[in-house]
Each structure stands twice: as structure tokens, then as C-alpha cells.
Amino acid sequence: MPSSHAMEKEASPELVASLKEALAAVLEVRPANPLIFLLAYFRRAAQPDSMEALAYLLNACPRSRGCFQENVYSTFVSLKRPKAETLQLQVCDSFLRILGAALPEEIMEGLLEQLRAGGSAVHFNEFNSVVEACIAANEALEGSNAGESACASC
């Protein structure tokens, strides 16, 4: 097997840079499943419009880390139209339904209702608030399910 130095000489500079960025992201985020994270990371690089990859990357980074706010902003920028200051409500709705797919419908509708009250355009601060609430609800649901599983095995 060739050494990493030999492989680096053979690989294109773009490939080496992409791999280094991906590994740096794994080290920063420290996802529970690094391989799934890398899959989403590279899917996002190959298909910038992939809402599923954007949702996974947002869920993978804990809200307490600095990378979370960067991911929320880059997701907002990726979803909005070029040169637009806001995000279309329908696009935001579709994305949030993917992000909160595990949530009960009543909770999802409550989150979306907050956005609909503002009209057809969603500003970053509104997007940020609803994304954080959606992820917090996902985390609470996961915690509740884990507690329920623990109690069931007692």
C-alpha cells in the first residue's frame, strides 16, 4: 500500500484539500457516526441543494459548539435564492419537515406556524430560531425515547 505522502503526490490538490476539510469538520463536530457524517458532508459538497444532507449536518453538530451557528447560516444561504436576503416560506417549510421528520405532526405544525405568521419571506433570525427549536425538540424526543427504553428494560 502506498504511503500517504505518495498518495498525496498522485492525488489532485482539490481532492487533498477536500479530504483535509472533511476530516477537520469531523474533528470539530465529533459526530456519533463519523462515516455517516462524511457521507452527508460529501453529498453536500457534490449536491449543494440536498436538503437531506443539510439537515443531517445541522443535527450532527451539537448546538453548544460554534460550528452549529456556522452550519445554520450556511444552510440558510444554501436554501435561499442567490442575491435574495430572505428564504421563501415553501423552501423553509420543506427543509424543516426533513429536519423534524421524527417529531409529532402537532409539534412540527406549531414550529411552522411561527414562520407563517411572518408572511412568505423568512429572515435569517426567524430561520435560526425555528431551526434551534426544531433541533431542541428532536433532542428532547430522543431523550424521552431513550428514557422510555431504559424503563422498559427494568
pLDDT at 1: 52
Q: Which of 92-96, 112-116, 141-145 has the lowest mean pLDDT?
A: 141-145
Q: Which residue, 35, 34, 37, 66, is CA-closest to 54?
A: 37
d(CA 4, CA 19): 12
pLDDT at 53: 84
d(CA 73, CA 127): 9
Q: Which of 57-61, 97-101, 113-117 has the lowest mean pLDDT?
A: 57-61
pLDDT at 100: 92
Q: Which residue, 81, 67, 69, 82, is CA-closest to 127?
A: 69
pLDDT at 12: 81
How many separate helices (H) and strands (E) can be counted in the chain? 8, 2
Decide which of 127 and 28 is more confident. Answer: 127
